[in-house]
């Protein structure tokens, strides 16, 4: 049920809930689905513009929120500021660079079983688990040598 993979899937999910199938919804979903990485709302707007020059940012936000409710898109909130969205549904994790704020996917197995069970024991109903590694990305690490703790200024 979650995550529509094709335009038809999405259209079906929308109709099933009495929601309307609009070009904005189809295109925004398509753009996110066909992207490599994550996208901010602003990026989505830019990438949707060629197909629909008049979409507005509020519509992008509203649509992303709707797609999230449908389970077709996931909102990943960067430890920093703006949120990013993606359509991946397979287990994967994120690395976040403190320096430049970049968020990237990380392929790695992880067994959150114990944590999930612990959460359920507290009455929490988890539907998603993701690991976030915080640190310094390769690019930023190269820029500032070894960040010796004593060299501060």
Per-residue tokens: 127: 């539907």
Does 90 help bind a copy of itself (rule: CB under 8 A)?
Answer: no
Is the CA virtual torsion 121, 123, 129, 130 positive or negative?
A: negative
73 contact choice in DNA, a copy of itself, none (CB below 5 to 8 Å, kind-dependent):
none
> From the list 50, 53, 58, 123, which residue makes contact with a copy of itself (rule: CB under 8 A)?
123
**What residue ranges bind DNA (CB under 7 A)?**
14-15, 18-25, 40-42, 52, 54-59, 61-63, 65, 81-83
Does 137 help bind a copy of itself (rule: CB under 8 A)?
Answer: yes
Contact between 73 and 44 (Cβ < 8 Å): no
Contact between 21 and 32 (Cβ < 8 Å): no
Judged on CB neighbours under 10 Å (0-12, 13-18, 19+), 131 is: middle
Based on CB atoms, which residue is closest to a copy of itself, 48 or 137? 137
CB of 117 to DNA, least distance (A): 31
């Amino acid at each position: 049920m979650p995550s529509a993979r094709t335009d038809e899937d999405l259209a079906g999910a929308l109709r099933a809930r009495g929601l309307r199938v609009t070009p904005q919804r189809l295109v925004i979903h398509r753009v996110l689905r066909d992207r490599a990485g994550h996208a901010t709302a602003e990026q989505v707007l830019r990438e949707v513009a060629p197909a629909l020059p008049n979409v507005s940012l509020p519509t992008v936000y509203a649509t992303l929120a709707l797609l999230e409710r449908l389970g077709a898109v996931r909102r990943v909130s960067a430890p920093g500021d703006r949120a990013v969205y993606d359509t991946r549904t397979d287990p994967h994790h994120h690395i976040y660079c403190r320096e430049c704020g970049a968020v990237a996917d990380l392929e790695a197995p992880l067994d959150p079983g114990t944590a999930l069970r612990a959460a359920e024991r507290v009455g929490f109903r988890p539907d998603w688990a993701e690991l976030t590694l915080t640190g310094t990305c390769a690019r930023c690490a190269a820029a500032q040598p070894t960040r010796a703790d004593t060299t501060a200024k």
